Structure 1
């Protein structure tokens, strides 16, 4: 999805007009795929949200036998059924964090409680047999990502013990 979005955006004379034509033919709003930007923490969520919304257009745009643009070779950007499932599961997982951290009043005292909530959520969803809100078991790749995220979270959680600012904010100094 990252590569497809970048490829369409960079190809202003070929792919971008073909993408807009594809959306128009499917009676969808003319929307660009969102870019995933490393320096913007919520951009992965935004990218996945837009991609899932435009799933039908993306799938048909990347098909080898697309009548609208038979000259374009976009098969390498096709996502398998499993990859779409993973994208949808990651979107669900990232939604809660994105909504929480997009609040207008973040503060230092809320960091530790939020880390606790994230740790609990990651622990639960990383377990075999854990399910999405739709009752579908999480893909093993998503569960592994949860375990990895939990390790990173624990690393930062341990660092808060040595920070006077966090200890003051939590009333433990």
Structure 2
């Protein structure tokens, strides 16, 4: 829902964007979630949760035709949980260090630890824990690919 409302607001120059500016600061436009930008989901979630009252007001305003994008309490809670999960990765990968191949496995180990810890955490809903399980399976596939990578073995000094 947040992806869709972000896209709708950003791409509406005639109706939604002017209303957004009336309700809130003109300088702040909701970030879009872009598949090719690894951190964009986190940025969008942080923004949406910070501006939850504004987004609720816009989706509630019938003249804007955004009712389909309205989030209920459960969906907002899921968005908050997902933001919290993605925060670790966002902060870890936003460091000043220049990414290199030798950082891959330590990064994957860190992600694996976060996933494994949170999959069983009662702090997160079933939906988030299920998504974490899928993420762990995907990560395990990537782990198995490093076993066959000569470039990786050379970088790690094996």
Structure 2 equivalent of residue 138 of structure 1: 124
By how many angstroms is 1:107 displaced? 1.5
Matches of residues 23-62 of structure 1 in structure 2 within 5 Å?
Answer: 23=24, 30-62=27-59
- Structure number with the higher helix fraction is 2
The answer as to 2:141 corresponding to 1:155 is yes
Q: Distance in 1 between matches of 2:64 and 2:142?
A: 46
By how many angstroms is 1:125 displaced? 0.7
* Unmatched segments (≥5 aa) in structure 2: none
Q: Which runs of 4+ in 1 moved over 4 A?
A: none
Contact 2:31 2:43 in 1 (8 A): yes
By how many angstroms is 1:122 displaced? 0.6
Structure 2 equivalent of residue 106 of structure 1: 99
By how many angstroms is 1:80 displaced? 1.0
Residue 30 of structure 2 aligns to a residue whose secondary structure is: coil
Q: Distance in 1 between matches of 2:27 and 2:149?
A: 48
Q: Distance in 2 between matches of 1:81 and 1:20?
A: 25
Matches of residues 111-122 of structure 1 in structure 2 within 5 Å?
Answer: 111-122=104-115
Structure 2 equivalent of residue 9 of structure 1: 10
Aligned residues between the structures: 156
Contact 2:20 2:26 in 1 (8 A): no
By how many angstroms is 1:29 displaced? 6.7
Residue 34 of structure 2 aligns to a residue whose secondary structure is: coil
Higher Rg of the two aligned structures = 1
Q: Distance in 2 between matches of 1:154 and 1:71?
A: 48
TM-score, L = length of structure 2: 0.92
TM-score, L = length of structure 1: 0.84
Contact 2:81 2:128 in 1 (8 A): yes
By how many angstroms is 1:30 displaced? 4.3
Q: Distance in 2 between matches of 1:9 and 1:58?
A: 13
